[in-house]
Amino acid sequence: MKALVINCSPVRAGATAEIVRLAAEQLSDRYETKTICIDDYSFAFCKGCRTCHTTARCVLRDDVSAIMEEFEKADRIVSVAPSYWADIPGQMKAFIDRCTPWCNTHDPHAVIPRGKKGYVIALRTGTGMRECDRITETIEHFYGHLEIECAGHLGLPSIACKEMVEPRLDEILSFCRGI
């Protein structure tokens, strides 16, 4: 079985990246694990042309297909996302918008293999869970339209930098053991 862990942040060395590293390390005992960073891919914004609603393909040709190939290969998908103004980073939002060809909101639509489970780890600098819940809702909504089973989430408030991940290590590893 394969696991994909996605850094939904453009920052490759911060708290989100550290959580991605920890999750991948924990999962690698049970899964063939791959990590990706959303910012390592180049893709344009959705044009809103709706061509994909009739063709099940996007008119734009860029790295979105490469990311979706990783989704297709994985049995477990873990999206790790920080709060950018109370929701997912813009790069991840742009990617989700571009996944309309694979979403079950119209027919025909492209299909990824069934039976996948999706997980979310959401973090934010503030102390409340509200923003973590919003991030989780956004990603789980996306998973639902890809027909990926939403199988668990973890909210981590009060993480402003990489050094603040260590005190939450047990919580993160416990969550990952359940994947």
pLDDT digits (tens, 9 = 90+) for 66-94: 999 999 999 999 999 999 999 999 999 99
Residue 144 CA: distances (Å) to CA of 33, 60, 69, 71, 160? 22, 24, 18, 14, 29
The reported pTM is 0.97
pLDDT of residue 126: 95
Structural fold of domain 2-177: Rossmann fold (3.40.50)
Supply the DSSP symbol for 105. Answer: T
pLDDT for residue 166: 97
**Residues 117, 118, 120, CA angle at the centre, nearest 5°?**
155
Section 49-72 average pLDDT: 97
Burial class (CB within 10 angstroms; exposed 0-12, middle 13-18, buried 19+) of 116: buried
Per-residue pLDDT of 98-119, as tens digits, reads 999 999 999 999 999 999 999 9
